[in-house]
Amino acid sequence: MIHVVLYQPEIPQNTGNIMRTCAASGATLHLIEPLGFILDEKRVKRSVMDYTDQLVLKRHDDWESFLQEEKGALFFLTRYGDHPHSDFDFASLDEDIYLVFGKESTGIPKEILKENIERCFRIPMAPDARSMNLSNTVAITVFEVLRQKNYEGLSMQEVQKGSDFLRNWTPDENQ
């Protein structure tokens, strides 16, 4: 199982987008307190849309509580990581995978990163770029893990309108 861990997220729109990504990908979302916003803000709800019923969300009082409650392989996104996100062999792991992302302003505390330096990764980008948007990095990383695991549990075709919808569609249909 894939878990996305947001360490003290600050921007509600990012968290809302990440909620939607987690719901659509089957990942569990963990929020480490304190949050920089009220979770029921309308900006979060607008981003997550009608996916709240599909979202598995867990809140943790702090990093230590998270570590006591959850068990699995931890991986940390940081600009200081020496490995690209695609270097890790996620397919060979039989335990839960926790992808940890830091707050938008300061990232994951350096003490945590240093303790886990071999599991720190970065997403390759232009040399002069300091960072990417948090919700984009979550999506990139979650889908790399899913790609390596052959998109286990995900649908490979349109379900709501049917797999033949586009083949049978005609221009006079307003769908």
Q: Report whether the peptide linkage leading into residue 109 is cis, meaning its omega lies within 30 degrees of zero.
A: no
162 annotated ligand-binding residue: no
123 labeled part of a ligand binding site: yes
Is 16 labelled a binding residue?
A: no
129-158 burial, b at 16+ Cβ within 10 Å, e below that, comes to eeeeebbebbbebbbbbbebbeeeeeeeee
Please name the amino acid found at residue 47: S
Whether residue 28 contacts residue 121, with contact meaning beta carbons closer than 8 Å, is answered with no
Count other C-beta atoms under 10 Å from residue 65's C-beta.
13
Question: Is 97 labeled as ligand-binding?
Answer: no
Residues of each annotated binding site for S-adenosyl-L-methionine:
77, 102, 123, 131
